[in-house]
Structures are given as structure tokens and as C-alpha cells.
Structure 1
Amino acid sequence: MGKPPNLYAFQGTNELAQSLRAYVLEAQNSALSRHQVFRVAVSGGSLPKVLGQALLRETTGEGSVQFDKWEIFFADERAVPLDHEDSNYKLVKDEILDKAPAELGKPKVHPIDVKYLDDVQELADQYEQTLVNTFASRDSVRLPMFDLLLLGCGPDGHTCSLFPGSPLLRENEAWVLPISDSPKPPPKRITLSLPVVTHGIKIAFVATGGGKKDIMKQIFDTDEGRQLPCGLVNAQAQEKVSWFVDYPAIEGVSFPARRGSL
């Protein structure tokens, strides 16, 4: 039995962003020492904004973001053009890539291939091929191993585009899955599979605001919540998972949180 996930709680967004920055830089530096590249999967929602605050803040003495060594993938993506307001790529571009000073370097970014927007199975297959080309051929690697996955938690306990009760949660072969009937718009999406998510070296969730307290209580304090997608990531990846939350998001949560710092 492994150790439980780490739950870090902070007074406000600035404090959270500062600790998230330190966590990401530690993951970056560890990855660069292993294989000279930092492979990150990011999700959408409110995450890119907080991540931008964390990575682009003016700080000294914490080391530096080396974007020229980063490869950015998408933990899930919507089947929309890259400049569409629902695009996770656009969120990351607007909040991080466009705002990053030139001296941090430019990451290699892997968006979806918009030629396949009308065929989500093909869109998923093409994105899986992108992973295969990056992480090695399928016959030599059972699952890709991201250095870090940066995820959000929906009010229903979904993460990436893995939704509660979805049969996709039982998929253990494919790396990237198509969705044509997402319960949350837009309906057509692709997502990393649960085994790919939990195979990551480090997995971080960011969840803020009082609107998250009910679902956080479910995920951390109830058996039912442990079957939700976020709960399954906690259960399967255990101490590899770190949650970065503010105090309102864990009001009433019994699971022990470390408050104020990593």
C-alpha cells in the first residue's frame, strides 16, 4: 500500500502560485537531469491562468523556467479550431506562451491536428501517434511516461475529459480516447486515458474556490468520491499526486492538508 496523495492548501492564489512554481521547477530540473527534456501534459479550464501566474511571476532565487527544454502536450482537447474559445491550446497560448518573455525560450508544443476535427476517432488516433513518435514505439513502451501532468478538477469530479461513470474509465489499452458525447460542451473531445494519466512521474491538480468544496469532500472523504475520475487518479497514483488548493476549496474536508507551503 502506497502513501496517500499530497494535499497542499494555501490562503490565496499568490501563495498557491508560488508553491506551484517551486513544484514545477523541481519536476523540470529532475526531468532535465534524467533525459534533457521536460515532457508536460496540461489540461484546460482555470488551470492555464494559474499556471501562467506561477511560471511567469517575477521571482528570484528559485531557479528558472527553461521553456526551450519543454515539450507541452494536452491532457485533453476539444475538437475545435486552435483559435476557438473552447480550445485548451488557445488557453495555454493566451495565458502562457504569448506572455512568456523571450529569455525563457520557446517550448515545443503539440496541438491536435485540426484536419480531423470531424472525426474524433481519427483525431484521437493521430494524437496517440504523436505520443508514440515522442515516447517510443508501442511495442517497446506500454504507456508513455510524462514527467508531469497538470490537471484540473471539475465540479462533478471529472479530470481531463474523463467523466464520472464513463466506460472510458475502464479503457486500459489506448493512450488517447475519443469522446463524441461529452456531458459538458463542447461534446466532441479527445483525452488521455486513465492509465496514461496515472503512469506519470508527477501529477498535480489545481482546484480553487468555494465552489469546489463539495466535490473535494467527496473525493477525499467518501468511498463514492474515490470512484470519481479524480478519486481514481488519487487511488492509482497515490503519493505521485499533489493537489494545490486554496482554503475555500477544502472547507469541511477531513483529509489532512498541509497548509501554507510544500
Structure 2
Amino acid sequence: MASYSANTKREKKVFDTEDDVAKAMAEYTFNLSKKFCKKRGYFTIVLSGGDLVLWLKKLLVPEYAETEWSKWHVFWVDERVVPLDDKDSNYKQTLDSFLSEVPIPTSNIYAIDQNCAALGDAKGAAIVYEECIKRLVNQNIIRTYKSSGFPQFDLQLLGMGPDGHMASLFPGHYQIKEKASLVTYITNSPKLPPKRITFTLPVINCASYNLMAVCGEAQADAVAKVFKDDFNLPSARLTADTQAIWYLDKAAASKLPSECL
């Protein structure tokens, strides 16, 4: 697995506006969907919450009408352990904003366990989600990464918070150090709601393609710290074991050191 050291190389592209980031993310996703559907007959995509699910609506234009939605398998890099119809649910936000608009089979959309979510059972939800992933690995829907045995999703779309967290891996919390499990959980998230499940760092870094999309001035300090190799920030530990790229708007990139521009 990857190690963390100074001068870690991070590929990035800076766009004028948030809308430009969203359009570029849609194009990137479409091209990879086309590639993997042709190559494997499946496309495994991992989503985040927040603005990213709104940006996915850029795929709903005639330019991408050839998207093979029936071959998509959709997962979440993290999820809030709340009922699936709760406004804080990443699943519900994505369903309302995007999934309800495209013909992805319901059986190909992998929300967290409904019972665990309703009960607020974060540990149980993590266990069940990990079991789901392992089952799909055994069915060859999800590949594994080289000899590590960790699942290798085709594309993971990530975001970063102003504190530098990604998924539900937060600075100063032990979950960032988890190396054995595929999915872990947190019950005291510094960002509400407090109960969440999240992919572990090894799983995140094993994706064939990782796209970190970050927009807004509120993220600029954290972006600068990441590109200065501040590994106290979980997002700085997103490595290019396979392919990782950062899409930034000018506001998010505004405090990057000059050598990174």
C-alpha cells in the first residue's frame, strides 16, 4: 500500500467556476463509464454526498445519452446512519437529485442496511455494507486490487470538507488508521449527524480512478495544506496508487503555493 512522504505528486486541474468543475466531472465520469462497460460489462462507481450529487446532473444532457445506465453499480464512500428517508441520508439526497432521473436498476444501487439505519446501529451498518462488498467481489462485479485483496472500484467521486476530511475520515480520529476492515464506523463525528459508516483508507486508495472535486473559498486553506503535504488532513492521504486527480475551481485553488500552480 502507499506510504506518505513529502513531495507527494498530486495531479490537478483548475477550472474557472464550480459549474466548469461539474461539467468536467460529468465528462470524466461518462468516459470511464464507456470504458468499463465495454471492457467488463459493469461500471462500479462510488459517490459522496454534498454538492457532488447535484453536479452529477450534468450527465442528464443529450451529449451523454449513450450512457449505459443499466450497467452501473452505485455505492457510497460514506453514509450517515439515519433512516433512508431522512433528509441527512446521502442515499436520499442522491435519489432525489440524480438517481430518480436515470434508469439504473434498483438492484444495482447499494444503500446501507435499512434496519441498521433505522435503529442508528452504526457498527451493524458497517458490518453489513462490508459483507455486501465482499459478496459482489465474489460475483466478480467488483474487482480486487493486485495482491492486496482490497476491492477495486472503477471510479470514486470524492469531496473534501474545510477541515480536510474526506468520506467520514476526520482529522484526529482513529478511523483513518484502520487498515484491515473495508468499512468502519464512527459514532462521534465532528460533523453532524454523529453516526456514520465509511470506507477505510486502503479501500479508497485502491479505486482505479479517484476524482477529488473541491469548490469554494471555504476549502482553500485545506487545499493548500494538502498540497503542502500536511498528512494530518485525511485528504492529503489520497494517493496515486492507481490514478488520483483533483478538480478545483479558482476559489478552492486560491491559496495554493506558487510552486503548485
Specify the TM-score bucket, using the shorter chain as the normaliser. Answer: 0.7 to 0.9
CA distance in 2, matches of 1:47, 1:17: 8
Say yes or no: does 1:171 pair with 2:175: no
Shift of 1:238: 5.5
Please point out which of 56, 75, 78 is paired with 1:76.
Answer: 78
Query: Structure 2 regions of 5+ residues with no counterpart?
Result: none
Amino acid at match of 1:40: I
Q: What corresponds to 1:228 in structure 2? A: 233
Contact 1:199 1:237 in 2 (8 A): no
Q: What corresponds to 1:260 in structure 2? A: none
Contact 1:135 1:145 in 2 (8 A): no
Please point out which of 119, 142, 146 is paired with 2:149.
Answer: 142
Shift of 1:245: 1.5
**What do the CA deviations read for 1:128-157 (whole angstroms, capped 9, x no partner)?**
01101111289x972110001111100100
Range 196-205 or range 236-245, more displaced: 236-245
CA distance in 1, matches of 2:52, 2:158: 7
Contact 1:176 1:192 in 2 (8 A): yes
CA distance in 2, matches of 1:256, 1:67: 37
The aligned length equals 246
Runs (4+) of structure 1 exceeding 4 A deviation are none
Q: What corresponds to 2:247 in structure 1? A: 244
Q: What corresponds to 1:256 in structure 2? A: 260
CA distance in 2, matches of 1:14, 1:183: 29
TM-score (norm 2): 0.87
Amino acid at match of 2:168: S
Range 88-97 or range 10-19, more displaced: 10-19
Residues 1:3 and 1:35: Cα distance change in structure 2 (over 3 Å): farther
CA distance in 2, matches of 1:59, 1:226: 41
Contact 1:5 1:239 in 2 (8 A): no
CA distance in 1, matches of 2:196, 2:53: 18
Amino acid at match of 2:233: L
For residues 1-262 of structure 1, the aligned pairs below 5 Å read 4-52=9-57, 54-56=58-60, 58-60=61-63, 64-100=66-102, 105-106=104-105, 108-117=108-117, 118-136=120-138, 142-221=149-228, 223=229, 225-233=230-238, 236-237=239-240, 240-254=243-257, 256-257=260-261
CA distance in 2, matches of 1:125, 1:205: 26
Shift of 1:32: 1.7
Contact 1:5 1:238 in 2 (8 A): no
Shift of 1:217: 0.8
TM-score (norm 1): 0.86
Residues 1:216 and 1:27: Cα distance change in structure 2 (over 3 Å): same
- Give the % identical residues: 31
Residues 1:134 and 1:166: Cα distance change in structure 2 (over 3 Å): same
Amino acid at match of 1:82: L
User: What is the alpha-carbon root mean square deviation over aligned residues?
Assistant: 2.3
Contact 1:135 1:141 in 2 (8 A): no
Amino acid at match of 1:150: L
Residues 1:232 and 1:69: Cα distance change in structure 2 (over 3 Å): same
CA distance in 2, matches of 1:59, 1:246: 25
Shift of 1:163: 0.4
Contact 2:34 2:68 in 1 (8 A): no
Contact 1:198 1:237 in 2 (8 A): yes
Contact 1:4 1:239 in 2 (8 A): no
Contact 1:80 1:114 in 2 (8 A): no
Query: Structure 1 regions of 5+ residues with no counterpart?
Result: 258-262
